[in-house]
């Protein structure tokens, strides 16, 4: 009805501007809060939540006890709700919104859904009016008619909705979060308030989760600790490891580093009702034997250092070099996540021949530095060059190494010229990596010289 009509009937009616975004944020918070009952929670617009409690109800004493626990938790947050338990999401929604609340016995969705009115279909208004005028007042009346005739008149969507409400067809929900590979939790009879003892709660939880992974021959790569407060707030701390791990103490150290680096410290408020530890990503972990030289242990120490740095500063700030499959020295290396699994195969980095100097310098200028050169022949190596007002007399030269640009990567009109690279050594023993840009006559009449890198 219009606001004027509503105010005429209820003069003391409180009115506020509708805020759809705020409503959505609220529903997302309530959905996160309900994950303490089951990890499979989805939004059911406009103002509902759908919980898939398959395999979880026995933890609360059955479906009826679980439904009561959910409603009581909502009541503590000052929300009044209607809840129904059924075999399919559509049947549960229809019974909660248009029927008697409660628990439907397994396999009896149709018995409880048949008395519901046509409004439970939530069909367009013209469809509801047409069904009512046809004398179909309940879902049972509609189910007794020929499905082919009803589909031809009212469309596939109406009949599909009917079959799902009656429990004849099941459509699983799409949860807001992916189900963890492994999950354990601890519930408290009284709210947990002591942050100083939180690691004493997490240690057995992590150990239990690692025991489950050990039976599967797996180790965790991504982990999450979730804290459900009595006031509905949910805090989640996520951390990762560079390699599959089942080390309880190492994971506790990562949790401690992550908690210490939070801009908004972990606050129990009125206390935590549930603390949950989940393994978001698990991979195969084969047992390895430490060699006499302890090389494996050193590698493990380095991986542990990377994990601790990533937990404190964030994965995006801890990087490593990775080789690229390219002949262009400007694209030969890239920064990648140090905690991620190496994407390049072993030995991807080029290795110099035994006794030979490296092909590429470790230090490169970006952009390359222009230099002034003098050469005996136009396409030969320089005899000397001037860089930063210092002249270098060349004692040895090796090259050229011709590197053509990757034309398929360059934008139209931005074609690079061919480069001839030389490794040079001056009379003082300094070694340089220089190139001549552009081929004589075919690409340019006056090629330019640049210093690209310095050898150690």
Does one domain contain both 41 and 151? yes
Rounded distance, CA 400 to CA 421, Å? 5
Kindly state whether residue 170 falls inside one of the protein's structural domains: no
Residues 6+ apart with CB under 8 A from 425: 394, 395, 396, 397, 431, 432
Does one domain contain both 148 and 75? yes
Task: Give the pLDDT confidence score for residue 348 in this predicted structure.
Answer: 62
Does one domain contain both 277 and 247? yes
The token duo for 141 is 């009346």
- Write down which residue in 136, 165, 194 finishes a domain: 165
DSSP 123-147: --HHHHHHHHHTT--BHHHHHTS-H
Short-list 190, 218, 186, 187, CA closest to 203: 186
Long-range contacts of 214-218 (CB under 8 A, 24+ apart): 214/246, 216/282, 217/284, 217/285, 217/286, 218/181, 218/244, 218/282, 218/283, 218/284, 218/285
Task: Give the pLDDT confidence score for residue 136 in this predicted structure.
Answer: 85
Q: How distant, in Å, are the alpha carbons of 212, 245, 296, 302, 349 from that of 345?
A: 31, 22, 19, 19, 9
Does one domain contain both 149 and 266? no
Range from 178-182, 236-240, 295-299, 325-329 carrying the lowest mean pLDDT: 295-299
The token duo for 314 is 């964030």
Rounded distance, CA 308 to CA 258, Å? 9
- Write down which residue in 248, 275, 310 finishes a domain: 310
Strands (E), 349-447: 363-375, 382-387, 390-403, 419-426, 431-437
Rounded distance, CA 382 to CA 397, Å? 8
CA atoms lying within 13 Å on the CB side of residue 252: 15
Range from 166-170, 209-213, 357-361, 451-455 carrying the lowest mean pLDDT: 357-361
CATH code (residue 189): 3.30.1490.100
pLDDT greater than 70 at residue 288: no
Q: Domain range holding 415?
A: 363-454
Helix (H) or strand (E) holding 335: strand 333-337
* Phi, psi (deg, nearest 5) at residue 267: -125, 120
Short-list 177, 230, 182, CA closest to 210: 182
Number of domains in the chain: 3
Residues 6+ apart with CB under 8 A from 129: none
Kindly state whether residue 55 falls inside one of the protein's structural domains: yes
Residue 356's SS3 state is: coil
Task: Give the pLDDT confidence score for residue 344 in this predicted structure.
Answer: 45
Residue 117 burial (10 A CB sphere; 0-12, 13-18, 19+): middle
Rounded distance, CA 204 to CA 207, Å? 5
Write out pLDDT tens, residues 423-456. 999 999 999 999 999 887 777 878 899 999 998 7
Kindly state whether residue 331 falls inside one of the protein's structural domains: no
Q: How distant, in Å, are the alpha carbons of 40, 276, 388, 389 from that of 371?
A: 64, 62, 8, 9
Instruction: Categorize the per-residue pLDDT at 346 as very low, low, confident or very high, splitting at 50, 70 and 90.
Output: very low
Does one domain contain both 113 and 227? no
Does one domain contain both 157 and 45? yes
**Contact (Cβ atoms closer than 8 angstroms) between residue 392 and residue 426:** yes
pLDDT greater than 70 at residue 415: no
pLDDT greater than 60 at residue 33: yes
Kindly state whether residue 417 falls inside one of the protein's structural domains: yes
Does one domain contain both 217 and 83? no
* Phi, psi (deg, nearest 5) at residue 415: -70, 130
**Contact (Cβ atoms closer than 8 angstroms) between residue 263 and residue 302:** no
Q: β-pairing, 419-426 with 448-454?
A: unpaired
Task: Give the pLDDT confidence score for residue 260 in this predicted structure.
Answer: 87
- Write down which residue in 310, 332, 350 finishes a domain: 310
The token duo for 136 is 């179909």
Instruction: Categorize the per-residue pLDDT at 293 as very low, low, confident or very high, splitting at 50, 70 and 90.
Output: low
Kindly state whether residue 354 falls inside one of the protein's structural domains: no
Instruction: Categorize the per-residue pLDDT at 343 as very low, low, confident or very high, splitting at 50, 70 and 90.
Output: very low
Task: Give the pLDDT confidence score for residue 347 in this predicted structure.
Answer: 47
* Phi, psi (deg, nearest 5) at residue 210: -65, -35
* 226, 227, 228, 229: CA torsion to nearest 10: -160
Residue 195's SS3 state is: helix
Does one domain contain both 289 and 376? no
Kindly state whether residue 48 falls inside one of the protein's structural domains: yes
pLDDT (mean) for 393-399: 91
pLDDT (mean) for 375-385: 86
Kindly state whether residue 409 falls inside one of the protein's structural domains: yes
Does one domain contain both 243 and 297? yes
Does one domain contain both 42 and 161? yes
Kindly state whether residue 271 falls inside one of the protein's structural domains: yes
**Contact (Cβ atoms closer than 8 angstroms) between residue 440 and residue 378:** yes
Instruction: Categorize the per-residue pLDDT at 289 as very low, low, confident or very high, splitting at 50, 70 and 90.
Output: low
Does one domain contain both 291 and 389? no
Rounded distance, CA 113 to CA 94, Å? 8
Note if the bond before 389 is cis, omega within 30 degrees: no
Does one domain contain both 189 and 144? no
Task: Give the pLDDT confidence score for residue 440 in this predicted structure.
Answer: 77
DSSP 17-49: ---HHHHHHHHHHHHHHHTTT-S-EEEETTTEE
């Amino acid at each position: 009805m219009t606001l004027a009509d509503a105010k005429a009937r209820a003069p003391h009616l409180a009115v506020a501007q509708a805020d759809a975004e705020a409503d959505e944020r609220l529903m997302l918070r309530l959905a996160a809060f309900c994950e303490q009952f089951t990890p499979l929670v989805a939004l059911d617009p406009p103002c509902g939540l759908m919980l898939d409690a398959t395999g979880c109800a026995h933890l609360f004493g059955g479906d009826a006890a679980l439904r009561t626990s959910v409603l009581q938790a909502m009541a503590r947050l000052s929300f009044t709700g209607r809840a129904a338990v059924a075999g399919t999401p559509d049947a549960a929604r229809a019974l909660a919104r248009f029927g008697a609340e409660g628990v439907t016995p397994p396999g009896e969705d149709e018995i409880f859904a048949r008395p519901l009115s046509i409004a439970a279909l939530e069909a367009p208004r013209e469809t509801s009016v047409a069904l009512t005028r046809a004398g179909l007042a309940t879902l049972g009346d509609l189910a007794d008619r020929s499905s082919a005739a009803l589909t031809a008149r009212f469309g596939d969507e109406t009949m599909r909705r009917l079959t799902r409400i009656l429990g004849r067809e099941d459509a699983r929900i799409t949860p807001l979060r992916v189900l963890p590979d492994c999950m354990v939790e601890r519930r408290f009879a009284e709210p947990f308030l002591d942050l100083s003892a939180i690691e004493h709660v997490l240690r057995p939880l992590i150990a239990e989760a690692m025991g489950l992974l050990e039976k599967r021959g797996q180790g965790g790569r991504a982990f999450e600790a979730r804290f459900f407060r009595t006031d509905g707030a949910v805090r989640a701390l996520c951390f990762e490891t560079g390699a599959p791990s089942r080390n309880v103490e190492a994971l506790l150290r990562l949790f401690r580093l992550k908690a210490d680096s939070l801009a908004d410290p972990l606050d129990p408020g009125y206390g935590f009702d549930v603390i949950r530890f989940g393994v978001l990503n698990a991979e195969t972990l084969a047992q390895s034997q430490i060699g006499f030289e302890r090389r494996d242990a050193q590698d493990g120490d380095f991986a542990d250092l990377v994990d601790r740095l990533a937990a404190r500063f964030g994965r995006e700030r801890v990087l490593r070099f990775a080789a690229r499959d390219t002949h262009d020295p400007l694209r030969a290396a890239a920064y990648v996540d140090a905690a991620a699994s190496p994407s390049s195969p072993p030995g991807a980095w080029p290795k110099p021949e035994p006794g030979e100097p490296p092909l590429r310098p470790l230090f490169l200028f970006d952009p390359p530095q222009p230099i002034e050169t003098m050469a005996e022949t136009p396409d030969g190596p320089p005899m000397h060059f001037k860089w930063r007002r210092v002249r270098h007399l060349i004692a040895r030269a090796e090259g050229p190494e011709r590197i053509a640009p990757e034309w398929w990567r360059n934008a139209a009109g931005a074609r690079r010229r061919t480069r001839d690279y030389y490794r040079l050594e001056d009379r003082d023993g300094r070694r340089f990596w220089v190139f001549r840009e552009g081929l004589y006559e075919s690409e340019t009449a006056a090629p330019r010289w640049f210093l690209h890198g310095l050898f150690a």
